[in-house]
């Protein structure tokens, strides 16, 4: 939700939201259109700040539009994961229903699952766990 104001205004003027727009993008486009009609209560596009400068030699006044940089994540939030599951590793599979990887491993007589919603979460695993997942291909 950090587009410049001119992008938001242009995108909200698009006539059709049915065929050219992907199904997963429809709620976002609908929100932009809704917000444009109600003066952007929740979307809050970046409006430029007008800065007027005067050239001392020619005396011509110039207006420059300055926009704040959007706030973005600098580090990906990674949750803590169980480590060293390679000892009781059974398998890991991709679940098409939840679009996540599920690691199945055994601790004693108990079977546990680790749900990885994002592929970036593999960074949290130990080196031996990563090697175990590399050797045993995902199902």
Per residue in 13-31, pLDDT (tens digit) is 655 544 566 666 677 777 7
Query: Same domain, yes or no, for 56 and 89?
Result: no
What the block records as the tokens of 23 is: 């199904």
Are residues 62 and 89 located together in one domain of the fold? no
Mean pLDDT on 106-110? 89
Residues in CB range of 105: below 8 A, 6 or more apart: 85, 86, 88, 89, 90, 111, 112, 114
77 lies in some domain: no
Within a domain: 71 = no
Q: Does residue 76 lie within any of the structural domains?
A: no
Q: How confident is the model at residue 1 (pLDDT cuts 50, 70, 90)?
A: very low
b (16+ CB within 10 A) / e for 72-87: eeeeeeeeebeeebbe
Kindly state whether residues 128 and 89 are assigned to the same domain: yes
Q: Is residue 20 part of a domain?
A: yes
- Does residue 121 lie in a domain region? yes
Structural domains counted in the chain: 2
- Are 89 and 130 within one domain? yes
> What backbone torsions phi and psi does residue 41 show, to the nearest 5 degrees?
-75, -40
**Pair 47, 10 in one domain:** yes
Q: Which of 14, 44, 46 is nearest to 30 (CA)?
A: 14
Q: Which two tokens stand for residue 117?
A: 């919603």
What pLDDT, on a 0 to 100 scale, did the predictor assign at position 130?
86
Pairing of strands 49-54, 61-66: antiparallel
Q: Residue 135 above 50 pLDDT?
A: yes
Q: Which domain holds residue 33?
A: 5-66
Q: Does 98 share its domain with 128?
A: yes
pTM greater than the 0.85 cutoff:
no
Cβ proximity of 1 and 44 under 8 Å: yes
Per DSSP, the chain holds a count of helices (H) and strands (E) of 3, 5
96 and 54 belong to one structural domain: no
Is residue 39 in some structural domain?
yes
In this prediction, residue 14 carries a pLDDT of 58
Say whether both 58 and 96 belong to one domain.
Answer: no
C-alpha 126/C-alpha 86 separation (Å) is: 9
Task: Please indicate, yes or no, if residue 97 is contained in any of the structural domains.
Answer: yes
pLDDT at 97 over 50: yes
In a domain, 40, yes or no: yes
- pLDDT above 60 (res 66): yes
Classify residue 88 by its DSSP letter. Answer: G
Cβ atoms of 64 and 49 closer than 8 Å = no
- My answer on whether 11 and 61 are in the same domain is yes
């Amino acid at each position: 939700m950090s587009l410049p104001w001119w992008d938001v205004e242009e995108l909200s003027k698009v006539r059709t939201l049915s065929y050219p727009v992907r199904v997963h993008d429809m709620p976002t486009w609908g929100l932009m259109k809704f917000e444009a009609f109600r003066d952007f209560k929740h979307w809050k596009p970046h409006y430029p700040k007008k800065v007027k400068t005067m050239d001392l030699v020619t005396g011509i006044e110039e207006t420059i539009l300055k926009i704040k940089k959007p706030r973005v994540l600098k580090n990906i939030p990674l949750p803590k994961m169980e480590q060293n599951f390679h000892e009781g590793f059974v398998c890991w599979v991709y679940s098409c229903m939840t679009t996540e990887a599920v690691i199945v491993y055994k601790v004693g007589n108990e079977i546990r699952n680790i749900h990885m919603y994002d592929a970036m979460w593999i960074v949290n695993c130990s080196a031996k766990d990563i090697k175990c997942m590399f050797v045993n291909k995902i199902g």
